[in-house]
């Protein structure tokens, strides 16, 4: 291969082939699929997912997806299972066995052992007539016409199909459980994703200084307050109620318009009716308000009283933006 066009064409063919195979999976969603979902949902145990080779890698991803969406799952490598790890399976567990051919040696050894223990077994296989398919309680067909590999050997399209079938299971179970964004946050407390689900405005504003002046504060003192609190803004407050806001931009515009600022006070240059957000609002809500209004700071209110400032930099620091 020596042509960029050839590279692009091969990539497009790969994507097209896999997308067609995935689309065809919908034809295999049948009563066995529905029964598999019900079996897992009604089980008092966990989901044990096993496989070997590339199927084992897909199994670990499906395990992660199930765990993060409210269905307890454990990965068990098929080769390790027949050398001691079979003890992972408890009486009420449901076993999902993933194998493209359904006839690999490890699968042929493992399947009878699972059946002997009387655990319900779900097969994810591209060959329902295989040893695995014939011995499973339920069969989820992931047949593909061809691997994306030009030699039709390297697991590509087939493993993608397995992964998508696992996603379909997970999403159905998620819906049955009424799994909400709050539940999702409970399982994803770390990183930017988790913070989007649980971080509140108060978590950020409480860590900031609280710039505040009153309407009669002199411009000199306004400048000092904004500089000292280092948020580029101050609230103008009267009787603990927000009546205005002064930003760095307001100060610059004032200097351009006036040559005598000695007699000016905060009320002369403040912006009235500033954008504000509730103390208990989610951080993502603050992000949306800032973005929709093209601003960098929001004044925070708690029970109708001034409670501080949340800044664009806070959102960036927390990975929300």
Euclidean distance between CA atoms 186 and 180, whole angstroms? 10
Q: How is residue 279 annotated by DSSP?
A: T
Question: Do 23 and 169 belong to one domain?
Answer: yes
pLDDT of residue 181: 67
To 10 degrees, the CA torsion angle through 5, 6, 7, 11?
Answer: 100
Question: Do 15 and 109 belong to one domain?
Answer: yes
From the centroid of its chain, how far is CA 105? 37
Question: Do 155 and 212 belong to one domain?
Answer: no
Euclidean distance between CA atoms 46 and 19, whole angstroms? 31
Binding-site sequence positions for Zn(2+): 77
Domain boundary among 120, 146, 179: 179
Is 189 part of a structural domain of the chain?
no
Binding-site sequence positions: 77
pLDDT of residue 67: 92
| CA proximity to 205, closest of 114, 310, 109, 61 | 310
Euclidean distance between CA atoms 188 and 191, whole angstroms? 8
Domain boundary among 146, 179, 212: 179
Residues 6+ apart with CB under 8 A from 287: 315, 320, 321
pLDDT of residue 195: 67
pLDDT of residue 60: 97
CATH number at residue 224: 3.10.580.10
Domain boundary among 149, 179, 209: 179
Question: Do 139 and 240 belong to one domain?
Answer: no
Is 193 part of a structural domain of the chain?
no
Euclidean distance between CA atoms 214 and 222, whole angstroms? 9
Question: Do 211 and 306 belong to one domain?
Answer: yes
Number of domain units in the chain: 2
CATH number at residue 103: 3.40.50.10490
pLDDT of residue 210: 95
Cβ neighbourhood burial of 86 (10 Å; 0-12, 13-18, 19+): middle
Is 130 part of a structural domain of the chain?
yes
Question: Do 167 and 235 belong to one domain?
Answer: no
Is 184 part of a structural domain of the chain?
no
Question: Do 46 and 156 belong to one domain?
Answer: yes
Residues 6+ apart with CB under 8 A from 106: 52, 78, 79, 81, 82
Is 194 part of a structural domain of the chain?
no
Intra-chain end-to-end CA distance of the chain, in Å: 41
Question: Do 111 and 205 belong to one domain?
Answer: no
Residues 6+ apart with CB under 8 A from 165: 25, 124, 140, 142
Is 188 part of a structural domain of the chain?
no
User: Would you say 147 and 18 are in contact if contact means Cβ atoms under 8 Å apart?
Assistant: no
Question: Do 121 and 262 belong to one domain?
Answer: no
Question: Do 171 and 230 belong to one domain?
Answer: no
Is 191 part of a structural domain of the chain?
no
For the chain, which residues score pLDDT lower than 50? 1
Range of 147's domain? 4-179
Is 192 part of a structural domain of the chain?
no
């Amino acid at each position: 291969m020596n042509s960029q066009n050839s590279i692009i064409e091969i990539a497009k063919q790969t994507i097209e082939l896999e997308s067609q195979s995935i689309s065809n999976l919908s034809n295999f969603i049948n009563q066995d699929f529905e029964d598999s979902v019900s079996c897992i949902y009604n089980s008092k145990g966990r989901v044990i997912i096993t496989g070997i080779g590339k199927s084992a890698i897909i199994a670990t991803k499906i395990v992660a997806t199930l765990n993060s969406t409210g269905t307890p799952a454990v990965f068990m490598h098929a080769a390790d299972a027949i050398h001691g790890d079979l003890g992972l399976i408890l009486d009420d567990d449901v076993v999902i066995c993933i194998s493209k051919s359904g006839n690999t040696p490890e699968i042929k050894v493992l399947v009878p052992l699972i059946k002997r223990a009387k655990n319900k077994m779900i097969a994810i296989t591209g060959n329902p007539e295989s040893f695995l398919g014939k011995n499973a309680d339920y069969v989820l067909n992931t047949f593909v016409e061809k691997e994306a590999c030009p030699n039709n050997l390297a697991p590509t399209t087939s493993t993608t199909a397995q992964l998508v079938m696992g996603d379909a299971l997970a999403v159905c179970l998620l819906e049955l459980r009424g799994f909400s964004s709050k539940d999702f946050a409970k399982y994803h407390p770390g990183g930017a994703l988790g913070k989007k689900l649980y971080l509140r405005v108060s978590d950020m504003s409480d860590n900031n200084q609280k710039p505040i002046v009153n309407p009669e504060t002199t411009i000199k003192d306004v400048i000092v307050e904004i500089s000292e609190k280092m948020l580029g803004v101050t609230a103008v407050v009267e009787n603990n109620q927000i009546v205005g806001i002064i930003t760095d931009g307001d100060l610059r515009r004032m200097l351009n318009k006036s040559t005598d600022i000695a007699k000016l006070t905060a009320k002369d240059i403040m912006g009235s009716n500033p954008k504000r957000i509730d103390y208990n609002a989610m951080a993502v809500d603050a992000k949306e308000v800032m973005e929709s209004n093209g601003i960098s700071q929001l004044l925070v209110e708690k029970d109708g009283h001034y409670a501080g400032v949340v800044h664009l930099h806070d959102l960036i620091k927390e990975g929300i933006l």
